[in-house]
Structure 1
Amino acid sequence: MAQSLNPLKTPKTHGNLPPLHPFPPQKLRLKPKSASFICRSLMSGQNQDQKQQLSLDALIRGGRREELFGAIEGSLYNCLSETNLQLTVPGLKSKIRGKVRDIYDGGDYLVLVTTDRQSAFDRILASIPFKGQVLNETSLWWFDKTRHITSNAVVAAPDRNVTIVKKCSVFPVEFVARGYVTGSTDTSLWTVYRNGVRNYCGNDLPDGLVKNQKLLQNILTPTTKAADHDEPITPEEIVKRGLMTQEDYDEVSKRALQLFDYGQRVAADHGLILVDTKYEFGKGHDGSILLIDEVHTPDSSRYWIGQSYEECFQNGLEPENVDKEFLRLWFKSHCNPYKDEVLPEAPKDLVCELAWRYIFLYETITNSKFQMPPGEEPIHERISRNVASALSCLK
């Protein structure tokens, strides 16, 4: 049985079928008040920001939030933070622990368990109730909806937090699709553009673009899957270094752009803007190209609120979004998350607010209600039982 730890401090790690991003800050003056107060404090400025907040509030602060918030609060200490299925499921071999997913070798298959771990600053900050289920079920929804574009590696989804996939040879390249000039990291399109770069990952960029502006057409900015960081790379370098053949790169890049275009159209139909995302692909034993990992989740994608984007852009405001930035900012204001060995506990109201936002995005993206799991059976026991049953059927 997985050890039970405090999910608000150092995430623990425990765990039925198919499977959501935050507020742009300027000033940060946080006090131990409500999540609503804190989230508003993270918006830039004063009156302009309050006006900007209205449409987002109208979307995320309604009856559905009140309906689910009690269940979220009641699940704070029953998150899936660690798993040890190799000890509880016969036939499972080695475990690879990623930032969010635990991956188990099941012989002919891989068992992917999506946990509730919330990472930032290259470490785990907290566990967010139901996050793993949201990510898993969001991906499964998109995998199903995009079969007309590309095959994928999904074999079965025996549990709310679990997907069983085919083993394949993974291309060591992540395909980052972008539709807007935005971002704040060193490798973000806006950062490199602001620093004078006009050809990025093989894409020619015109002069005169401003932050958060829509590109004339969607582009790909591939990166290599390095151990400690992602390195931007051009298509020519990918082929020259032997990371992919020209034929494979051409086919995968075509599918990635088709996936992104389709995702943007679906998101727009549901009131969202799919700003950017990343895709990973592999090759099956039969040589077929397969979409793997996750698709258009809040962790792999940036979503903005569609109805207020144009007004925000014209007024020089950051677009409204629903992500984890407010939690990141709280930690940056209360510690040095890059250097401090021990981090403070995340406030419960912020953890609950982020959990709700993941659910909100799932429901908005899929246009369906999020189904809370029955609470009687411990999560790790439930996952162990469901995975064991599925693997026995696949033999």
Structure 2
Amino acid sequence: MTIPQTNFQFDGQTGFYRGKVRDVYTFENHPSGPLLVMVASDRISAFDVVLPRPIPYKGQVLNQTAAHFLRATADIVPNWLLDVPDPNVSVGLKCAPYPVEMVVRGYLAGHAWRQYRDGHRTLCGVALPDGLRENDRLPNPIITPTTKAHEGHDEDISREDIIAKGIVSESEYRQLEQYALALFERGTQMAAARGLLLVDTKYEFGNLNGRIYLIDEVHTPDSSRYFYADTYEENLQSGLPQKQLSKEFVREWLIANNFQGKAGQVIPSMSDEWISQISRRYIELYETVTGHSFTRTDAVDPLTRIEGNIRQALAKTYFQ
């Protein structure tokens, strides 16, 4: 069974928000302080549009991958995560999010390549040299921030505009940059240990009581792109597509079927076999990136399991 969405009601619940993938329950008055409970559903989005069919185990993959990397990077920057009471659920601190996503790119791929291919040599205020090929490694990782949209498309923006418009103060933005690059370096090292290249990823940050926290997901297939290291150079020199672990293959399929989330475009039909293939690719990414075997949660009623585990988590006090 898949988890397309949840609609729980909990004692002490003060808010609910349904994102593209996660259902987020808020508890402002919990004994441990303001908490969020995030349920990773099996919804899948691309081009900022939620596709019509859920993907088996996708939410579990996202939640467990994010938890793996949040724990592995907690020495770099504090993060929001307190507990993972269920394969699809994370409980953590409710922070005020910064309205920008810090996108870090180590290679010219995906959206950056499409912009470059179309003649742009400046991306989010960052100048790129002429003569680059698709998937070339950049001289140094670059940050190409986007505004964080609750609905619709996130928009590219430069650090200069972020600071000039007062979206984030200059001192805080500098700290976000430092954290983002340090996280990317850690992610690159962890990927290399698994025979992978971390191509690009995004980080989101929040503030609680004047302290910056890493929030949301980290180094997951929805937020990151990985290439296989052993075939990278050969494919690059041959002009062949890179073997990769990411959601990009879903975007490429949509583009091939004339959908990029633009007005008037129709989402193509997703066959059972295509759904199964996406699920297998997500599980492959989890096992390859983390080095852990994936355990399928085949409960007859996953919603009952999730609700029960959340209630148990809410009964805890996380700080004495």
| TM-score relative to the length of structure 1 | 0.73
Q: CA deviation at 1:324?
A: 4.3
Structure 1 gap segments, 5+ residues each? 1-77
The AA in structure 1 aligned to 2:67 is L
Q: CA deviation at 1:191?
A: 2.7
Q: How many angstroms apart in 1 are the aligned matches of 2:160 and 2:80?
A: 27
Q: CA deviation at 1:382?
A: 0.8
Q: CA deviation at 1:326?
A: 4.9
Q: Deviations over 1:146-186 (max 9, x none)?
A: 01111001121111111111111111110000011122xxx
Q: How many angstroms apart in 2 are the aligned matches of 1:236 and 1:255?
A: 18
Q: How many angstroms apart in 1 are the aligned matches of 2:133 and 2:254?
A: 29
Q: 2:21 aligns with which of 100, 110, 130?
A: 100
State the aligned residue count: 309
Alpha-carbon distance change, 256 to 336 in structure 1, aligned in 2, over 3 angstroms: closer
* Alignment match, 1:110: 36
Q: How many angstroms apart in 2 are the aligned matches of 1:278 and 1:146?
A: 14
Q: CA deviation at 1:275?
A: 0.5
The AA in structure 2 aligned to 1:96 is Y
* Alignment match, 1:49: none
Q: How many angstroms apart in 2 are the aligned matches of 1:204 and 1:327?
A: 29
Q: How many angstroms apart in 1 are the aligned matches of 2:180 and 2:260?
A: 34
Whether 1:277 aligns to 2:204 is no
Partners of 1:327 and 1:350 within 8 A in 2: no
Aligned residue runs from structure 1 range 1-395, under 5 A: 78-86=1-9, 89-107=10-28, 108-121=34-47, 122-183=49-110, 188-226=111-149, 227-285=151-209, 287-327=210-250, 339=264, 344=269, 346-373=270-297, 375-376=299-300, 378-394=301-317
Partners of 1:85 and 1:92 within 8 A in 2: no
Alpha-carbon distance change, 331 to 251 in structure 1, aligned in 2, over 3 angstroms: closer
- Between 1:116-125 and 1:126-135, the stretch displaced more is 116-125
Q: How many angstroms apart in 2 are the aligned matches of 1:350 and 1:276?
A: 25
Partners of 2:224 and 2:246 within 8 A in 1: no
Q: CA deviation at 1:119?
A: 2.0
Alpha-carbon distance change, 362 to 195 in structure 1, aligned in 2, over 3 angstroms: same
Partners of 1:130 and 1:355 within 8 A in 2: yes
Q: How many angstroms apart in 1 are the aligned matches of 2:277 and 2:181?
A: 33
Q: How many angstroms apart in 2 are the aligned matches of 1:352 and 1:375?
A: 18
Q: How many angstroms apart in 2 are the aligned matches of 1:131 and 1:93?
A: 27
Partners of 1:119 and 1:126 within 8 A in 2: no
Alpha-carbon distance change, 335 to 232 in structure 1, aligned in 2, over 3 angstroms: closer
Q: CA deviation at 1:228?
A: 2.2
Q: Deviations over 1:72-124 (max 9, x none)?
A: xxxxxx111110112xx322233211111011112221111100112235132
Higher RCO (C-alpha under 8 Å, 6+ residues apart) = 1
Q: How many angstroms apart in 1 are the aligned matches of 2:89 and 2:127?
A: 40
Q: How many angstroms apart in 2 are the aligned matches of 1:211 and 1:332?
A: 17
Alpha-carbon distance change, 237 to 342 in structure 1, aligned in 2, over 3 angstroms: closer
Partners of 1:99 and 1:124 within 8 A in 2: no
The AA in structure 2 aligned to 1:190 is W
Partners of 2:225 and 2:247 within 8 A in 1: no
Q: How many angstroms apart in 2 are the aligned matches of 1:79 and 1:151?
A: 32
- Between 1:121-130 and 1:260-269, the stretch displaced more is 121-130
Q: CA deviation at 1:327?
A: 4.7
- SS of the residue aligned with 2:101? strand
Structure 2 gap segments, 5+ residues each? 29-33
Structure in which a larger fraction of residues adopt strand: 2
Identity of counterpart residues, as a percentage?
A: 43
Alpha-carbon distance change, 335 to 252 in structure 1, aligned in 2, over 3 angstroms: closer
Alpha-carbon distance change, 83 to 322 in structure 1, aligned in 2, over 3 angstroms: same
| TM-score relative to the length of structure 2 | 0.90
Q: CA deviation at 1:199?
A: 3.1
Q: CA deviation at 1:197?
A: 3.1
Q: CA deviation at 1:329?
A: 5.7
| Bigger-Rg structure (1/2) | 1
Partners of 2:43 and 2:50 within 8 A in 1: no
Query: What's the RMSD between the two structures over aligned residues?
Result: 2.1
The AA in structure 2 aligned to 1:172 is P
Q: How many angstroms apart in 1 are the aligned matches of 2:57 and 2:247?
A: 15
Q: Deviations over 1:299-335 (max 9, x none)?
A: 1111111111100000111111234455556566678
Q: How many angstroms apart in 1 are the aligned matches of 2:127 and 2:248?
A: 30
* Alignment match, 1:10: none
